[in-house]
Structure 1
Amino acid sequence: MGTILITSATLVSAGHPLHLTSVDVLVKNGKIEKIGKSVKAEGKVQEINGKGSFLSVGFFDLNVNFGEPGYETKEDIQTGTAAAASGGFTGVAVHPNTNPPIHSRSEVSLIVNTAKGNLVDVFPVGAVSKKREGNELAELFDMKINGAVAFSDGNRSVQQAGLMGRALLYAKGFQGLIMTFPQDESIAAGNKMNEGEVSTYLGMKGIPNLAESIMVSRDLFLAEYNESPIHFSTISTEESVDLIKKAKAKGIQVTCDVAAHNLVFTDEDVKSFDSHYKVSPPLRTKRDVKALIKGLKDGVIDAVVSQHTPHEIEFKEVEFQIAKDGIIASQTVLPLLIKAGFNPESIVEKLAENPRKVLNLPVPQLVEGEDANLVLFSMDKKWTLDNNSNKSKSTNSPLFGKELTGQVLATINNNQVIIN
């Protein structure tokens, strides 16, 4: 990487003595050599002008989907991490929606070894159940000692309460974390969008908020009973925010996250029948979006995720009803958070600091002598997600071809740098 000097950037790091002040940062051989008001560098230096931009520790994504193994035509680890790095992420938790699923030490080791030497640190999330079928516990501890940072059945919810209870109790014994996607399939019934006025208008069967909140309620009871920590991934409803708020006040060990697109888009966007707005959980109402944003600002919701889910064109350029759920999102989280009204401090808290705390991973420090794990981002620079800027193999995003406000300028980690 050589030597890099970032100049005149506003540092965002709560508790840091230089928080919200303009600083220069000298990075040499992958480490922060000097940080201060005016830093001089000798020899050959790559200078990055950070004036008007913000500098923080690299972002961390708690929910990404790469295709490897089995679905490499959607995304492999190299292209997935390229998209993540372009979006400012220096760490990602990759979910087990693969073929075979990440449900044993073999798949965990594959992910860990394939991702070695990458700018982006890749952390596998092992499946809770074998084959993600929800019938039998996977070898959780075996995956943990081989590199899994948490356990989830990905985009499938564990329907059996007994299995979920056993998973919580077992993982608790070795400080493992169960991450759950809350959706009662008997209520969701395979439907395709949010249940409400818009679904009625469109004549499309909907998924009610109840399908999510009833599972949140169930799993909170199970976590409380087993005195185990639990993390809810991609909540989307006002009711879920309220349930988790009350559980936190009660002392239950619960954390949660929300996908960035659920903070901006609503079921009104589905009126176009554009399948790029088809996601799981579905886009909800304006009232839900308002509650989610308030939940983030109040600290009920701990983190924001991309829920990056790439698909080949033949799975999205079809009728809404038969299209696959999901969008590519690693590069567009920052613009969506800006559009949702979040300031740089909140963005860093929800994208860089809290996600690592959820997984009990160390938060990188912006001090001299530490490894440089950094992101430089602009809140007002405009850019377009298109074939030139897109790093993913896939193009399934409602934002493709549109001008966005807010861009990651540079990402530094593991003695590597990418500049957008």
Structure 2
Amino acid sequence: MNLLITGVTIADPNSQFNQKTCDVRVEQGKITAIGNNLKPANQEEVFDGTGAILSPGFFDLNCSIGDPGFETKEDIETATKAAMSGGFTGLAVLPHTKPVVHSKGEVAYILNKAKGNLVQVLPIGAVSHDLEGKELAEMYDMKQSGAIAFSDGSKPITDDGFMSRALQYVKGFNGLMMVHPENKSIAGKSQINESKTSVLLGMKGVPALAEEMHISRDIFLATYHDAPLHISNITTAGSVALIKKAKKDGVKISCDVAAHYLVFTEELLNDFDSNYKVKPPLRGKSDIKALLNGLKDGTIDAVCSQHRPQEIEFKAVEFEIASYGIIALQTVLPLLIKAGLDAGQIAEKLSVNPRKLLNLPVPVIEENAEANFTVYHPAKEWEYNTTNNQSKSANSPLLNKKLTGKVQLVYNNKQLQAYG
């Protein structure tokens, strides 16, 4: 499809047109012209980009899809529809499916099922067989088959020796491990942040220490093996400080934060709304401030969705037995805008850096480049509701609420999706 976008502002740190307002022409999947006062051609769709931002397509580092095995939560079709609506043209999907993505067969299944989609779906292979943290999965074979990284998803790797061996093994073929930071022996069965709020609610709290001790261990192991390591979903000020120091010391470490940890605080749990129950738990205002500073100074490399679909029967229950997670693909952009990130920061943390971390090609907004981009209006309001929710699940505290920041177009793989 041929397309002309007029008067749009480009946000791409790798483009010579960064921060410039231009017209952009796309023909047969390529950006063929960027300039001013471009004239519409025959059979060309024209989109008025006044006030809108054109960024390289968003890429999510941390997405859960139930396919295979848990398709009642989410399948590839619904996940990619939700991703498109949220501005994502690429997803890295976690291995906690059934069967677990722990061999080349599951990797091939996901790649084949998502083939030809506007949204590129790339599997993350498991570190351990069945996510049990005991036996190494077939990581090399999965890498050869198309796995882009390795993780046990939301399960922390608790055995220090196993973690050490996994890092050493993955380093041998330039793989990347992505780990969930949680010291289970300290966190126990607690489900909310340890603070005044947990005392007021009469619930046991998860101390920040549980996350920070786990990160400290992983920093020691990454240093010992001189191996790259990615920490997923950091949430505390102490975690930011630990990673900042490790980077300064030359450790090959990177990290991300989910968008909701930049906006939601633990006080939202006062009504025991299980849609705010996430793992790690929501923290305090001082943690949010540290996370935002970490994004600005480069300590935190990327923002992710931490999309975790759950059927209603796992959420519409008492808080203590409710499952963790929020559906988040369609709400990452509005939350980042609410948190105060500008267009340049959004492009860097949501488009460029996630792909760099995974050694994937980074789309660039330049003439003769393959077209892979997102157009969004940062000031446009919209209501997120059951009609426009593209996920199979509905476990979001933002449903039926007005949000600011709306995706208008996504383009990738010679396919265009437009939203009103």
TM-score normalised over the length of structure 1: 0.99
Q: Is residue 2:148 matched to residue 1:149?
A: yes
Unaligned runs of at least 5 residues, structure 1:
none
1:289 corresponds to: 288
2:267 corresponds to: 268
Q: Deviations over 1:221-253 (max 9, x none)?
A: 000000000000000111110000000000000
Aligned partner of residue 59 in structure 2, secondary structure: strand
1:7 corresponds to: 6
Aligned partner of residue 61 in structure 1, secondary structure: strand
2:118 corresponds to: 119
2:59 corresponds to: 60
1:412 corresponds to: 411
Q: Distance in 1 between matches of 2:98 and 2:207?
A: 30
Q: Distance in 1 between matches of 2:219 and 2:160?
A: 11
Instruction: Note if contact 2:16-2:366 (Cα within 8 Å) is conserved in structure 1.
Output: no
User: Letter of the aligned partner of 1:142 in structure 2?
Assistant: D
Report the alpha carbon displacement of residue 343 of structure 1 after superposing the two structures with TM. Answer: 0.7
User: Letter of the aligned partner of 1:193 in structure 2?
Assistant: I
Q: Deviations over 1:153-180 (max 9, x none)?
A: 0000000011111111111111100000
Q: Distance in 2 between matches of 1:389 and 1:28?
A: 29
User: Letter of the aligned partner of 1:286 in structure 2?
Assistant: K
Report the alpha carbon displacement of residue 38 of structure 1 after superposing the two structures with TM. Answer: 2.2
1:385 corresponds to: 384
Aligned partner of residue 151 in structure 1, secondary structure: coil
User: Letter of the aligned partner of 2:84 in structure 1?
Assistant: A
Q: Deviations over 1:30-56 (max 9, x none)?
A: 111211122223211111111001001
Q: Is residue 2:175 matched to residue 1:176?
A: yes
Q: Distance in 2 between matches of 1:219 and 1:42?
A: 56
Q: Distance in 2 between matches of 1:21 and 1:87?
A: 24
Q: Distance in 2 between matches of 1:267 and 1:404?
A: 20
Q: Distance in 1 between matches of 2:291 and 2:7?
A: 34
1:19 corresponds to: 18
Aligned partner of residue 355 in structure 1, secondary structure: helix
Q: Deviations over 1:264-285 (max 9, x none)?
A: 0011001010000000010011
Q: Deviations over 1:173-206 (max 9, x none)?
A: 1110000001011111121111111001000111
Q: Deviations over 1:259-312 (max 9, x none)?
A: 100000011001010000000010011111111111111110000000011011
1:255 corresponds to: 254
Aligned partner of residue 241 in structure 2, secondary structure: helix
Q: Distance in 2 between matches of 1:279 and 1:212?
A: 14
User: Letter of the aligned partner of 1:260 in structure 2?
Assistant: A
Report the alpha carbon displacement of residue 213 of structure 1 after superposing the two structures with TM. Answer: 0.3
User: Letter of the aligned partner of 1:57 in structure 2?
Assistant: P
Q: Deviations over 1:78-104 (max 9, x none)?
A: 100110111111111000121111111
1:91 corresponds to: 90
2:136 corresponds to: 137
Q: Distance in 2 between matches of 1:239 and 1:19?
A: 34
Q: Is residue 2:39 matched to residue 1:40?
A: yes
Q: Distance in 1 between matches of 2:360 and 2:73?
A: 29
Correspondences of 1:157-176 after superposition (within 5 Å):
157-176=156-175
Q: Is residue 2:224 matched to residue 1:225?
A: yes
Q: Distance in 1 between matches of 2:403 and 2:291?
A: 22
Q: Distance in 1 between matches of 2:150 and 2:38?
A: 44
RMSD: 0.8
2:50 corresponds to: 51
Alpha-carbon distance change, 15 to 74 in structure 1, aligned in 2, over 3 angstroms: closer
Q: Distance in 1 between matches of 2:385 and 2:416?
A: 22
Aligned partner of residue 124 in structure 2, secondary structure: strand
Correspondences of 1:388-399 after superposition (within 5 Å):
388-399=387-398
Instruction: Note if contact 2:237-2:287 (Cα within 8 Å) is conserved in structure 1.
Output: yes
1:279 corresponds to: 278
Aligned partner of residue 83 in structure 2, secondary structure: helix
2:350 corresponds to: 351
Report the alpha carbon displacement of residue 358 of structure 1 after superposing the two structures with TM. Answer: 0.8
Q: Is residue 2:68 matched to residue 1:69?
A: yes
Q: Deviations over 1:285-343 (max 9, x none)?
A: 11111111111111100000000110111111111111100000001001000111111
Q: Distance in 1 between matches of 2:230 and 2:93?
A: 15
Q: Distance in 2 between matches of 1:7 and 1:319?
A: 51
Q: Distance in 2 between matches of 1:114 and 1:36?
A: 38
Q: Distance in 1 between matches of 2:253 and 2:79?
A: 29
State the percentage of identical aligned residues.
Answer: 55
Instruction: Note if contact 2:40-2:46 (Cα within 8 Å) is conserved in structure 1.
Output: no
Report the alpha carbon displacement of residue 15 of structure 1 after superposing the two structures with TM. Answer: 4.2
Unaligned runs of at least 5 residues, structure 2:
none
User: Letter of the aligned partner of 1:168 in structure 2?
Assistant: L
Instruction: Note if contact 2:310-2:393 (Cα within 8 Å) is conserved in structure 1.
Output: yes
Q: Distance in 1 between matches of 2:217 and 2:186?
A: 14
2:322 corresponds to: 323
User: Letter of the aligned partner of 1:17 in structure 2?
Assistant: Q
Q: Distance in 1 between matches of 2:225 and 2:59?
A: 29
Instruction: Note if contact 2:266-2:283 (Cα within 8 Å) is conserved in structure 1.
Output: yes
User: Letter of the aligned partner of 2:315 in structure 1?
Assistant: K
Q: Distance in 1 between matches of 2:14 and 2:228?
A: 27
